Structure 1
Amino acid sequence: MAILEIIETPDPRLRVISTPVASVTDAHRTLIADMFETMYDAPGIGLAAVQVGVAERILVIDLQRPADDTDPDADPKDVKYVNEPRVFINPEIVWESDELTVYNEGCLSVPELFADVDRPSRVRAKWLDETGAAHEQELDGMLATCLQHEMDHLEGVLFIDHLSKLKRDMMLKKLEKLRRAKAA
């Protein structure tokens, strides 16, 4: 497994529309393993293949819930997490609720910036897993939000594209300022 480079905005490769996977191969499974390793290292909870330079309709998600025996008063750095990795190949949303949920989203391709984004609170999605098996399920909560966020990447859309032009421009200026500060 390898940690891959995560592409950051304004790189034009993030705007490429990803192509469907015709059949799941060993090369895809290797990519998926590398994507998980990259996502965990970042750290993050979701990653689309296009964010690591592969414009195919593949994404990985792991909401990493705290272990059942976690002390609720524990220092966050001491909390042990249970991984629940999920792979979505050629995901499609076939239904979405009218009810919206606001979540303060961030993105590995737009580092250190967060903004409130409205998305449907529930979706019904279809996808293939890493074995090529088909799935269809209704998802809600954080998983529904994360899936929609990552699926946006497959269409060349970033979470900041859901913001007003003024707010998006302010965020991009802030990102550039953060990059200059790190480079200094």
Structure 2
Amino acid sequence: MTLPIVAYGDPVLKKKAEEIDEKYPDLDKLLENMFETMYAASGVGLAAPQIGLSIRLFIVDGTPFAEGEDGDPACEDFKRVFINPIIFEETGEEWGFEEGCLSIPNIREEVKRKSTLKIEYYDENWDLYEEELSGIPARIVQHEYDHIEGVLFTDKISPLKRTLLTGKLSDISKGNVDVGYKMRFPKLKRK
């Protein structure tokens, strides 16, 4: 089932999410719905707060970044579930890359991030992993991890750029945006 994606301005997107345990109800169904929602919106990642759940869970599928002549081979089979993740190290040169977000449609801005990270997380079977990621896979994870920390990519751009986006961000929160997927807008005026 495709779920509505929460739009910019909803308080759930600015809240630090809570850990879950193996008893979390219907986790398999939730993950299935999250992947279906992410694919329907042509995303490469989706965090639980983006569907209104303040829990430490996100999914990724970086496959679209593996395609084309500029594709990153590290994204080829980069499909994962991250439960209760902890990034415990970020290293390397900061590099800029234009990011977007399903909760902030039609806005893309360059965000600088470290090139490599080390992360610990549980997968959908509650197996514990420790992994080092670099390049695009690291960036996708950093972006989604920010969501469970209550941080949006627009928080990482310059204050001037953020000011210039104020009108567009306000329009998104009011539902004045054209998207090809279901969304829930926090300031939409009901008629």
Report the TM-score when normalising by structure 2: 0.81
**Structure with the larger RCO, 1 or 2 (CA within 8 Å, 6+ apart):** 2
SS in 2 for 1:97: strand
2:32 corresponds to:
33
- Paired-residue identity, %: 38
1:54 corresponds to:
53
2:99 counterpart of 1:105: yes
- Residue number among 139, 144, 149 corresponding to 1:145 in the alignment: 139
Alignment of 1:146-161 (within 5 A): 146-161=140-155
1:169 shift after superposition: 2.3
Structure 2: give runs of 5+ residues left out of the alignment: 70-75, 179-187
SS in 1 for 2:2: coil
Distance in 2 of aligned mates of 1:38 and 1:111: 15
Structure 1: give runs of 5+ residues left out of the alignment: 73-81
Question: Do the aligned partners of 1:24 and 1:132 also contact (CA within 8 Å) in 2?
Answer: no
* Number of aligned positions between the proteins: 171
Distance in 2 of aligned mates of 1:165 and 1:37: 35
Report the TM-score when normalising by structure 1: 0.84
Question: Do the aligned partners of 2:47 and 2:147 also contact (CA within 8 Å) in 1?
Answer: yes
Distance 1:19 1:166, change over 3 A: same
1:167 corresponds to:
161
Distance in 1 of aligned mates of 2:52 and 2:123: 20
Q: Deviations over 1:60-91 (max 9, x none)?
A: 000124888x8x6xxxxxxxxx7742100111
Distance in 2 of aligned mates of 1:12 and 1:101: 29
